[in-house]
Amino acid sequence: MSARNRELIGLIPASLLVTAGFAGVFIQRSSVISNVSLTYGAIFLGLCLVAHIVIRLTLPEADPYLFPLVAALACFGIVVVYRIDPAEARRQAEWFVIGLVLFVATIIWLRDYRRLERYRYTIVAVSLAILVLPRVPGFGEYANGAYLAVRVPGLGAFQPEEFAKIGLVIFLASYLRDTRQVLATGGRRILGVTLPPLKHFGPILVIWGLAMGIMVLLSDMGSSLMLYGGLLALLYVATGRASYVVVGLLAFALGAWYLGSHISHVHARVEDWLHPFNPRLYHAPLGSYQVANGIFAQAAGGLFGQGFGESVLSIPGTHGSTLLPNPETDMIYAVITGELGLFGAAAVLLAYLLFVWRGFKIAVLARDSFSTLLATGLTAMFAIQVFVIVGGVTRVIPLTGVTLPFISYGGSSIVANFVLVALLLLVSGPARGRLLRRRR
């Protein structure tokens, strides 16, 4: 079967998921199956089909599993967001459409994605510039003790790190393509670890500085961790030096520890992480209430969950999600676990892992080192983003405000991640094409 036919078949579960999901929410809301659920299902299937046709025409050999996985995650996300707040789901659906448009545009305009290398300094400059935008007075939006977003008139909040992560990966992939040979050679062996010459620590120092800068300037631990993790993975893959990872993690741990004890917002988040059920922290403003209730929401889920739409998000008699703050963004994993249980949560994680597997597969098959590094960086960044937010909700690490890709409510996230997937497919198309032709 051709790759595109496999992709087409792969879209069936996604459209069934969105139809069944909406039907479930409607049944739970009013005990009727409205034909609106079928309409939603049909619209999403139609949109996915359009994107599929574009891929079929432009990248016939590209990875067949990536897009169905994304469609399933995005459709699942829109159902969960709808269950939390129908109005937000409508906006999310609009962003979904914009994301798909940008996805198609990226695929068409960037057929020769290696052109990006030519603009790498422009790209990195723009990425760094938009990263600090939230701190610029008049632009930035301060929420929950961190500078996470930029307010764009008419469009709402814009989260620059979602786009910056792609730009930074493009830059580092291109930079490492040139320098990785140099970085990988030379050095002395100390305690069995080959240490590169001191000057080769330049790149790691730069990304370390970037991560620390984000923490100091924006108090944004989540983005800091995501960008640092993704770029470090890229550095390791490019050079094959474990010493980069060891030194890099140590440096980050040291920096995070120092900042964690000196920046009050970061420190508070760490305290909430360590002692979420301490009544003093629980009742403190911006305290551990959210983390603790995320855990409680998961505990309510058990193995099979309470059922779709059955978990409690607000205290009766109050408006909004008073029991589980930010259920559609930060806490969406807790909502999923509460309603679909451990098995539902495991299925979501498995879907992400399959995505990561396909991403790395694309990287391995890619035809040149820039392409390999680009796919590796984007996939690693994506995987670490999932880890950072789910890890925060499950108390593996302190909770920070990054989105769960394709599932969380958020326009920037969904649009940027669609671009990310488009880039992966662009890498995959020619690479797999070459492979398949060679096999014939």
* Sole binder of another protein in the list 154, 192, 285, 316 (CB under 8 A): 316
- Residue 284 sits in the site that holds another protein (CB under 8 A): no
In angstroms, the CA 255 to CA 295 distance is 28
**Minimal distance in Å, beta carbon 242 to another protein?**
9
* Sole binder of another protein in the list 306, 325, 367, 434 (CB under 8 A): 306
Nearest CB to another protein, comparing residues 28 and 58: 28
* Sole binder of another protein in the list 108, 315, 435, 436 (CB under 8 A): 315
- Residue 310 sits in the site that holds another protein (CB under 8 A): yes
Return the DSSP state at 398: -
The tokens for 123 are 């790209």
In angstroms, the CA 119 to CA 109 distance is 15
DSSP annotation string for 256-291 = HHHHHHHSHHHHHHHHHHH-TT-HHHHHSTTSTHHH
Using CB under 8 A, which residues numbered 164 to 193 contact another protein?
A: none
Quote the strand ranges of 144-277, DSSP E: 146-152, 156-158, 188-190, 193-195
* Sole binder of another protein in the list 187, 194, 282, 367 (CB under 8 A): 282
* Sole binder of another protein in the list 223, 224, 298, 326 (CB under 8 A): 298
Amino acid identity for residue 369 in this structure = S
* Sole binder of another protein in the list 302, 320, 435, 436 (CB under 8 A): 302
Return all residues near 167 (Cβ < 8 A) that are at least 6 apart: 123, 124, 126, 127
* 3-state helix, strand and coil shares in percent for the chain, rounded to the nearest 5: 75, 5, 25
Strands 146-152 and 140-143, bridge-based pairing: antiparallel
- Residue 58 sits in the site that holds another protein (CB under 8 A): no
Which stretch, 32-40, 60-68, 314-322, 410-418, contacts another protein (CB under 8 A)?
314-322
In angstroms, the CA 107 to CA 89 distance is 26
* Interface map 118-157 toward another protein (x if CB under 8 A): ----------------------------------------
140 in Cβ contact with 147 (< 8 Å):
yes
* Sole binder of another protein in the list 107, 291, 295, 331 (CB under 8 A): 295
Nearest CB to another protein, comparing residues 137 and 317: 317
Quote the strand ranges of 144-276, DSSP E: 146-152, 156-158, 188-190, 193-195
176 in Cβ contact with 241 (< 8 Å):
no
DSSP annotation string for 21-32 = HHHHHHHHHHSS
- Residue 280 sits in the site that holds another protein (CB under 8 A): no
Looking at the DSSP bridge assignments, the partners of residue 143 are 146
* Interface map 334-373 toward another protein (x if CB under 8 A): ---x---xx--xx--x--xx--xx--x--xx----x--xx
- Residue 307 sits in the site that holds another protein (CB under 8 A): yes
* Sole binder of another protein in the list 32, 87, 191, 303 (CB under 8 A): 303
Alpha-carbon dihedral angle through residues 386, 121, 112, 239, given to the nearest 10 degrees: -60
* Interface map 4-43 toward another protein (x if CB under 8 A): ------------------------x--x------------
* Sole binder of another protein in the list 236, 267, 275, 434 (CB under 8 A): 236
3-state SS class at 417 = helix
Give the binding site for another protein (CB under 8 A). 28, 31, 233, 236-238, 240, 277, 279, 282, 292-293, 295-304, 306-307, 310, 312, 314-317, 323, 337, 341-342, 345-346, 349, 352-353, 356-357, 360, 363-364, 369, 372-373, 376, 380, 383-384, 386-387, 390-391, 394-396
